[in-house]
């Protein structure tokens, strides 16, 4: 099927495309609804009203709506998202949506409809346990990251992969919104005036800012593995049995600890929002994510690491401890930017009453700063709990 040049689809054009691609039978009765919640992409859900079967068409828009302005954003991210999903499905098909069709010109990916699952952030806010979430995410991280890294991949092939996933526009968003703006008085920042003193303390903290600059430099230069790049709990669909990771449009070759740290950071953001007696399940999710990651990464290493790495004693342990140290720092950056930066999380923003929201955000800022400054002291995921309990 030959596609036209780019234009944003309407709902009826989305239906026509699905029919043209024979994703449904000729006479199906189809409904279509645009369900995207972001400012960057359209998400069409097309359903056959006779049997309930459906598909999703995700289409990139050529701009992002931010702070009232329009920010041009390459459509190439749709190609990156589709290729990242396909690459991840080589290692963990059980944890990503099936891709049915992609079109670079139209900037679309057509994929499995996951509406039977719930976005993990929403489920955690409702207090659902999602008992397998961290087991699955630990395995997702270990396999997608190990098998796209130089530890496993022939160096020549690895460089051809790096080239496919050059993603400067989306990386720039992270470089600015995660590693820069929240630590300076930038107009993208967004926080309640009651947090003014806490924010000022961050902006004055030279030790903190030095550590953040080093983390940013790692993000810019360490092409270790193909990251998801935006692995917050809003990018995960889950229920009691299943977990699916969506939305890898920020994929690029970066430091493994970044993906791991975003997962830790988002579990912690949800933990902050809970009373002490309900926090334990989140600390357990963090520990399980890391323990499963270590187990699966080590297994993959034993089976498939290139000889120079596999046969060098102590090297695996060294790699794992560096990933953990970086993840602690990246988790701290994620927590701070989700509290005072441009893009917030509902875990904190929906807290009531107002005083409780403010005091919880103060806790988030303190814990985030402590993680960044104590990357080397924190050796084990059990210690996150101590930092949350000790910090006021």
* Binding site residue list: 41, 58, 112-114, 230, 247-249, 337
For residues 1 and 12, give the distance between their C-alpha atoms in angstroms, rounded to a whole number.
Answer: 18
Query: In 217-337, at which residue ranges do the beta strands (DSSP E only) sit?
Result: 225-227, 236-238, 243-245, 252-254
**Quick one: which of 202, 374, 347 has its CA closest to 271?**
347
What does 346 interact with, of Mg ion, ligand ADP, none (CB < 5 to 8 A by kind)? Answer: none
| Binding flag, residue 236, ligand ADP (CB under 6 A) | no
Q: What track of x and - describes contact with Mg ion for positions 244 through 263 (by CB under 5 A)?
A: ---x-x--------------
Stretch that binds Mg ion, among 37-45, 188-196, 278-286, 364-372 (CB under 5 A): 37-45
Per CB under 6 A, contacts with ligand ADP among 193-212 are none
Per CB under 6 A, contacts with ligand ADP among 10-39 are 35-38
| Binding flag, residue 73, ligand ADP (CB under 6 A) | no
| Binding flag, residue 61, ligand ADP (CB under 6 A) | no
The answer to whether residues 117 and 244 touch, using CB atoms and an 8 Å cutoff, is yes
Q: Which residues contact 127 (CB under 8 A, 6 or more apart)?
A: 278
Reduced to 3 states (helix: H, G, I; strand: E, B; else coil), residue 182 is helix
Compute how many residues bind ligand ADP; rule: CB under 6 A: 20
| Binding flag, residue 247, ligand ADP (CB under 6 A) | yes
Residue 257: Cβ-neighbour burial (10 angstroms; 0-12, 13-18, 19+):
buried
What does 35 interact with, of ligand ADP, Mg ion, none (CB < 5 to 8 A by kind)? Answer: ligand ADP
| Binding flag, residue 38, Mg ion (CB under 5 A) | yes
Q: What track of x and - describes contact with ligand ADP for positions 114 through 153 (by CB under 6 A)?
A: xx---x----------------------------------
The answer to whether residues 390 and 224 touch, using CB atoms and an 8 Å cutoff, is no
| Binding flag, residue 113, ligand ADP (CB under 6 A) | yes
Compute how many residues bind Mg ion; rule: CB under 5 A: 4
For residues 158 and 150, give the distance between their C-alpha atoms in angstroms, rounded to a whole number.
Answer: 7
DSSP state of 9: P
In this chain, which of 23, 40, 57, 327 binds ligand ADP, going by CB under 6 A? 40
The answer to whether residues 118 and 268 touch, using CB atoms and an 8 Å cutoff, is no
Give Cα 226 distance to the centre of its chain.
13
Residues that bind Mg ion (CB under 5 A): 37-38, 247, 249
């Amino acid at each position: 099927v030959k596609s036209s040049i780019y234009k944003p689809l309407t709902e009826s054009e989305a239906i026509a495309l699905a029919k043209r691609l024979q994703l449904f039978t000729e006479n199906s009765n189809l409904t279509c609804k645009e369900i995207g919640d972001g400012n960057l992409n359209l998400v069409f859900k097309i359903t056959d009203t006779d049997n309930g079967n459906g598909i999703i068409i995700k289409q990139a828009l050529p701009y992002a709506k931010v702070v009232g302005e329009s920010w041009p954003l390459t459509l190439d991210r749709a190609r990156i998202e589709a290729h990242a999903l396909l690459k991840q499905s080589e290692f963990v098909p059980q944890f990503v949506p099936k891709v049915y069709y992609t079109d670079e010109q139209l900037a679309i990916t057509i994929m499995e409809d996951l509406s039977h699952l719930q976005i993990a952030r929403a489920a955690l806010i409702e207090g659902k346990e999602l008992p397998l979430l961290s087991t699955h995410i630990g395995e997702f991280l270990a396999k997608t990251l190990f098998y796209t890294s130089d530890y496993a991949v022939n160096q020549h092939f690895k460089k051809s992969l790096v080239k496919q996933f050059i993603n400067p526009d989306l990386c720039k968003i992270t470089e600015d919104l995660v590693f820069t703006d929240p630590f300076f008085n930038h107009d993208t920042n967004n926080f309640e005036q009651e947090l003014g003193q806490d924010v000022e303390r961050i902006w004055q903290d030279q030790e903190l800012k030095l550590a953040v600059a080093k983390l940013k430099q790692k993000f810019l230069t360490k092409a270790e593995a193909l990251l998801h790049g935006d692995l917050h709990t809003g990018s995960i669909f889950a229920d009691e049995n299943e977990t699916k990771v969506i939305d890898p449009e920020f994929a690029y070759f970066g430091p493994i600890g970044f993906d791991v740290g975003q997962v830790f950071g988002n579990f912690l953001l949800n933990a902050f929002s809970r009373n002490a007696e309900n926090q334990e399940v989140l600390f357990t999710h963090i520990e399980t994510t890391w323990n499963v990651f270590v187990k699966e990464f080590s297994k993959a290493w034993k089976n498939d690491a290139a000889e120079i790495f596999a046969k060098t004693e102590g090297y695996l342990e060294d790699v794992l401890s560096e990933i953990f140290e970086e993840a602690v720092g990246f988790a701290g950056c994620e927590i701070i930017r989700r509290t005072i930066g441009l893009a917030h999380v509902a875990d904190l923003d929906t807290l009531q009453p107002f005083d409780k929201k403010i005091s919880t955000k103060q806790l988030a800022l303190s814990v985030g700063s402590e993680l960044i400054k104590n990357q080397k002291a924190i050796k084990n995921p059990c210690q996150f709990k101590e930092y949350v309990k000790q910090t006021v």
